[in-house]
Amino acid sequence: MRTEKMISLDPVPGPAFAKFELGEIVVTPGAALRLDPKDVQSSIARHTRGDWGELEPDDRRENDERIEKGGPLASIYKDSRGTTFYILTESDRSATTVLLPEEY
């Protein structure tokens, strides 16, 4: 039986304009295998600045409100090969996970 576990990334240096804390950053096994690490790092930086990638306008507004009021945050991006992936930050900002849609 094969067991897979998530891997942790080193902390992403937070730019002065980061809008929230990321907590521990983890990448699921599927995402680690399929995504370019540079694309993941740049997308995490976008996520922490409040650039929600390909989210719908209503979901973008909800994320913006959740930065102030609390709640989970989600972004959708594509890597340089066109692979869609999600970045999810927990409500308490203790962790941020990078995952593929099929791993959600």
pLDDT in tens, 55-88: 999 999 999 999 999 999 999 999 999 999 999 9
pLDDT digits (tens, 9 = 90+) for 8-54: 555 554 445 889 999 999 999 999 999 999 999 999 999 999 999 99
Tokens of 31: 């995402």
For residue 99, what are the β-bridge partners? Answer: 86
Q: Which residues contact 97 (CB under 8 A, 6 or more apart)?
A: 6, 25, 26, 27, 28, 86, 87, 88
Residue 62, both tokens: 């909800």
Q: Where are the domains of the chain?
A: 23-103
pTM: 0.85
Which is nearest to 32 in space by CA: 68, 4, 58?
A: 4
Question: Phi/psi at 89 (nearest 5 deg)?
Answer: -110, 130
